[in-house]
Structure 1
Amino acid sequence: MAILLNNITRFSFPSLSPIKASPLTPPLSISCSISSNNNNINPHNNESSPNPKKKLSEQSSWEAKDSEGNDYLYKLGKEADNMNIAVGARAGVIDPLFAGNFLGKDSDIVFDYRQKVTRSFEYLQGDYYIAPVFMAMCHIVKNYIAHLLNVKVPLILGIWGGKGQGKSFQTELIFQAMGIEPVIMSAGELESERAGEPGKLIRERYRTASQVVQNQGKMSCLMINDIDAGLGRFGNTQMTVNNQIVVGTLMNLSDNPTRVSIGQDWRESDITNRIPIIFTGNDFSTIYAPLIRDGRMEKFYWQPNLEDILNIVHRMYEKDGITKDEVGSIVKTFPNQALDFYGALRSRTYDRSISKWIDDIGGVENLCNKLLKRRKDKELPVFTPPEQTVEALLESGYSLLREQQLIMETKLSKEYMKNIDD
């Protein structure tokens, strides 16, 4: 303590006399450099060099360069949409120590969310009839073995025909039978207020189908329903920029099915799996002709014959106890009807049973409370499906037929506009 006090008393703050070193004061060392550029000093060997090389541990990630000398993080950001981040905490892919059990052995939540655009067919319960002449199965198989065939295989299959003939439903039955997990789009997605969005969406959906093949080991395809409603030209309808981009995108996919860009720079390693494309529509003559040429699109006109109609409708009514002969009498009673007409017959027979069920739960006044606001422990009355008979089906058929005739015979638009010239 005495030494410390002596050291303190030696300081004279008002004066500028030099400070004397004490035994407790470390010696002050000052190093000077002759060079005026301090950036050339290498602290490791005290030698100056024009381009000092830092140790890896001292480098910032912002200074890292790739093998070509480009900024690594900038290039990584540009390619972020192509990075395979679908691994997650998948058991067997990363170390079990890091996977843990709190999220389960396979907890790739992000990948499941990203794949919601695919379609599964759990709702197709029962035994349905698939027409042997339906070409979707053959087209899909040909595209998956295209590298083994010595022929030109069109990427696109266009299934067209009359309204309500089961084009989409037959295709979905084939998807279910083959275990395919497709990406399905509709004509409403082929237009947008932003130019280029529908074309980019098609390329993204195509690449998503390719990821299903690569990451899940399942077959997939891209299906666009009612494409003529989105791309067809009817009368004096206007061709938009998005229509042109969509047509160009589909033509490019058919010509280069393994090189699909969604805006990033091309990379030699970015090879997409060949994914078959299926269109459905009613009139392909309204679509841009170069898109539907034989080299790009394989056409299939679907018009079920009488045998196909009998088999399809019989499978539809088989669980109701309707025999094939009874189905034949129904089809003969309502000839020249689409397949969806016979499906509507069965749906119309439920109307009376549903009306009775509404009365059983308290009427239309209490319908909202009973259906949406009821307590979970209070169950609704059991709905009893109606017993299907030929008479009930015929009655429903005549009702639907009257509605069709009223639409064709009653032109309400003329009734509304009859006084316009007065």
Structure 2
Amino acid sequence: MALANISLRFKFPPLQYSSSSTFNPLLSLRKPSSIACSKAGDDGGKGAVDGGEKPRKLSEQSSWEVKDSEGKDYLYRLGAESENMNIAVGARAGMIDDVFIGDFLGKDSDIVFDYRQKATRSFEHLQGDYYIAPTFMVITSVHIVKNYLASSLNIKIPLILGIWGGKGQGKTFQTELIFKTMGVEPVIMSAGELESDRAGEPGRLIRDRYRTASQVIQNQGKMSVLMINDIDAGLGRFGETQMTVNNQIVVGTLMNLADNPTRVSVGQDWREADTVNRVPLIVTGNDFSRLYAPLIREGRMEKFYWQPTREDIVNIVSRMYEKDGISRKDVVSIVDQFPNQALDFYGALRSRTYDRSILKWVDEVGGIETLEKTLLRRKKTQEVPQFIPPEQTVEALLESGYSLIKEQKLINETKLSKEYMKNIDD
């Protein structure tokens, strides 16, 4: 049979258009019976298109047709804000279709805050009686309180507290102890997050973490702080270190936060009602002279040089060794035996004394060949063989200290780069 003699048996109904000139693609996807206009006298007359009546609405609570507070199309504005999504506004009646809300969330709940608050830090692991240096406590706590009272104080209050000093002096640990004492739930960043292969990402991350801390204040009723550790490692200029675009954006972001602590954007258009709580900002580092000078100027950053005194070191180490039965008199003798050492040195002494006990435990469980099975591939019903900590003595701690001092001297005295290059002519 010739193709010309084949007649089409199917006829598609003509597409129905509303009285407006805008084409609605959803209407074209409906079944033909749902596209046809409703009969006269039918109670669904609001969907008719004849006689100049309004076109049929998709839903009374559809987000396709909802308007924002300014009367503009909600989804169009939502799309323009690149980092915002429907879920970010929460399950709010009139904003999202009811099918996406669910009864268990309620009609107005922030469905992503549980994810957002994971960026905060808690300190349940800090068990025991630790020593907090009085000077450190005063400087840090006063800075936090001043920023929370900023609206009622008629003075210029720096948003940033810069804590700097020698390596391993316990700046971060002392700050965490203060947070736990004051009930602060901070958002903590590290220097490694201040660089990225994507331009602008670190600066945006800082603003996002700042807003997260603000949400902790507003939604949980807890004090919060944004803390950046080792900031000079991420932003400092050392020798011929190249300044990247991300370095400049991060510095500019921190300066802008210090100047406008309640107006923080993460990429959206500015809105008058979009204000956040003022969040104190604390940064730590070793050498702030490497930072961009306008960032650390007075009015933006309050600076605190932390150099623990001998009394501070003895008190901190005494609390550290207290559970091991080491007396304060013995701690004084250990500190005097190794002068001019940072606080982390005395923590390393205690860790080094565990080495022999760990080797003994490895032999007891079957040797190094069985460690994978013992530690990782054991059955759920099996427990790791118990490890008994060694008994701490002054002699063992001194022996560990001499070993650490020897390693320090080897690093300073042995220049391996010279050994590698000794056969190369100048």
| 1:361-400 CA-partner distances (Å, limit 9, x unpaired) | 0000111111111112222321111111111111110110
- The residue type paired with residue 129 of structure 1 is Y
Cα shift at 1:141: 1.1
Where in structure 2 are there 5+ consecutive unaligned residues? 1-16, 21-36, 94-101
| 1:175-215 CA-partner distances (Å, limit 9, x unpaired) | 11111111111111111111100100000010011111111
CA distance in 2 between partners of 1:353 and 1:190 (Å): 40
Aligned counterpart, 1:328: 332
CA distance in 1 between partners of 2:381 and 2:345 (Å): 39
- The residue type paired with residue 214 of structure 1 is Q
Is 1:159 matched up with 2:163?
Answer: yes
Is 1:144 matched up with 2:148?
Answer: yes
Counterpart of 1:396 (choices 400, 410, 421) is: 400
Percentage of pairs with the same residue: 73
Aligned counterpart, 1:375: 379
Q: Cα 1:68–1:321, aligned 2, differ >3 Å: closer, same or farther?
A: closer
Counterpart of 1:246 (choices 239, 244, 250) is: 250
Counterpart of 1:286 (choices 282, 286, 290) is: 290
Is 1:268 matched up with 2:272?
Answer: yes
Is 1:215 matched up with 2:219?
Answer: yes
Alpha carbons 2:147, 2:278 under 8 Å: kept: yes
CA distance in 1 between partners of 2:18 and 2:377 (Å): 77
Aligned counterpart, 2:312: 308
CA distance in 2 between partners of 1:329 and 1:410 (Å): 30
Alpha carbons 1:86, 1:110 under 8 Å: kept: no
Alpha carbons 1:86, 1:111 under 8 Å: kept: no
Counterparts of 1:41-120 in structure 2, within 5 Å, are 53=54, 62-66=64-68, 68-78=70-80, 80=84, 83-85=88-90, 98-99=103-104, 110-120=112-122
Identify the range of structure 1 (389-398 vs 379-388) with the bigger mean alpha-carbon deviation: 379-388
CA distance in 1 between partners of 2:73 and 2:372 (Å): 61
Aligned counterpart, 2:23: none
Cα shift at 1:99: 3.0
CA distance in 2 between partners of 1:38 and 1:190 (Å): 53
| 1:72-101 CA-partner distances (Å, limit 9, x unpaired) | 32124445459442899xxxxxxxx9339x
CA distance in 2 between partners of 1:198 and 1:384 (Å): 44
Cα shift at 1:114: 2.4
Q: Cα 1:360–1:269, aligned 2, differ >3 Å: closer, same or farther?
A: same
Alpha carbons 1:258, 1:272 under 8 Å: kept: yes
Counterpart of 2:202 (choices 198, 207, 212) is: 198
Q: Which has the larger radius of gyration?
A: 1
Is 1:408 matched up with 2:412?
Answer: yes
Where in structure 1 are there 5+ consecutive unaligned residues? 1-36, 89-96, 101-106
Counterpart of 1:277 (choices 273, 276, 281) is: 281
| 1:145-182 CA-partner distances (Å, limit 9, x unpaired) | 11121211100000000000000010011111111111
Alpha carbons 2:91, 2:111 under 8 Å: kept: no
- The residue type paired with residue 133 of structure 2 is A
Aligned counterpart, 2:423: 419
Aligned residues: 371
Q: Cα 1:307–1:81, aligned 2, differ >3 Å: closer, same or farther?
A: farther
Counterpart of 1:360 (choices 339, 352, 364) is: 364
Normalising by structure 1, report the TM-score. 0.81
Cα shift at 1:39: 4.2
Normalising by structure 2, report the TM-score. 0.81
| 1:291-328 CA-partner distances (Å, limit 9, x unpaired) | 00011000000000011001000000001111111100
Identify the range of structure 1 (237-246 vs 55-64) with the bigger mean alpha-carbon deviation: 55-64
Aligned counterpart, 1:175: 179
Aligned counterpart, 1:12: none
Cα shift at 1:110: 4.2
Cα shift at 1:118: 1.0
Aligned counterpart, 2:391: 387
Aligned counterpart, 1:131: 133
- The residue type paired with residue 257 of structure 1 is P
Aligned counterpart, 1:23: none
CA distance in 2 between partners of 1:61 and 1:308 (Å): 61
- The residue type paired with residue 268 of structure 1 is E
Counterparts of 1:20-35 in structure 2, within 5 Å, are none
Aligned counterpart, 1:226: 230
CA distance in 2 between partners of 1:86 and 1:315 (Å): 49
Alpha carbons 1:361, 1:380 under 8 Å: kept: no
Cα shift at 1:113: 2.5
Is 1:319 matched up with 2:326?
Answer: no
Aligned counterpart, 1:122: 124
CA distance in 2 between partners of 1:300 and 1:265 (Å): 37
